[in-house]
Chain A
Amino acid sequence: MSFETPDDLRYLETHEWARVESAEESATTARIGISDFAQDELGDVVFVELPEPGESLDQDAQFGVIESIKAVSDLYAPLSGTVSAVNETLFDEPELVNDDPYGDGWMLELEDVDESELDALLAADAYAEQID
């Protein structure tokens, strides 16, 4: 089976993705979520526990929990930043993570992102190789 790994994202080895959304000076924001491969491994997602707006995340540190019917998994931050938006739709429709992991299944928006941290993440081709 092959999984989508969009080229415009960067990935953590633990299967979270980050998409830098705007790159104005001092106001870089990013969206984060989990990969197509990760949602498939988990199976039917039934619950996500996410931080509140205003909380700060550290790159590689745990920021939340995702549960499918069969498994509980920790979520790790691909980038440091401050939570500026939470996809609260997931609280009622966690299955969006399965249906559209890179779109409607996004989890958090971060601000105050340091773009230099992107260098520590995998590009799409390297991540695709990891999950192959």
Chain B
Amino acid sequence: MRHVISLLIENESGALSRVSGLFSARGYNIESLTVAPTEDLSMSRMTIVTTGSDDIIEQITKQLNKLVEVVKVVDISEAAHIERELMLVKVRATGKDREEIKRTADIFRAHIIDVTDASYVVELTGNQGKLDAFIGAIDPALILETVRSGVCGVGRGDRVLKV
């Protein structure tokens, strides 16, 4: 089962490697991992997308909690939540492809944020499925680069992850 784990961690050097080291040492999967400081700069928020049985997910959250620098851990996928990922795609855009890509971008409510004679950079935000669908909708031969941020997530409504 796929899970989205959010955690707050002290913003100290080496904190990220403690988390990633934990996953590799214990053989857990990381599908994606994003991290950046929060409004409180002494703390970072991390979103980890992982897969595993209920037992494994329970161990993952316990092991993460055990790390001295981890302040709080929540499996946000246990209840209603929102996931978003940012993608930048550089595509070859010449001739009739220019129009076609623009149309596809509009359909996906993506933005074209860089334009040259021969290329576009398309910015698209959404859940993983939407981003995958956009990639599927474009001729693979036109894709020059794909950059994905990994998933960010937040619980809906009253569910707040804060110290």
Q: Do the two shown chains form a genuine complex with each other? A: no
Please report A residues at the B interface, Cβ cutoff 8 Å: none
B→A interface (CB under 8 Å)? none
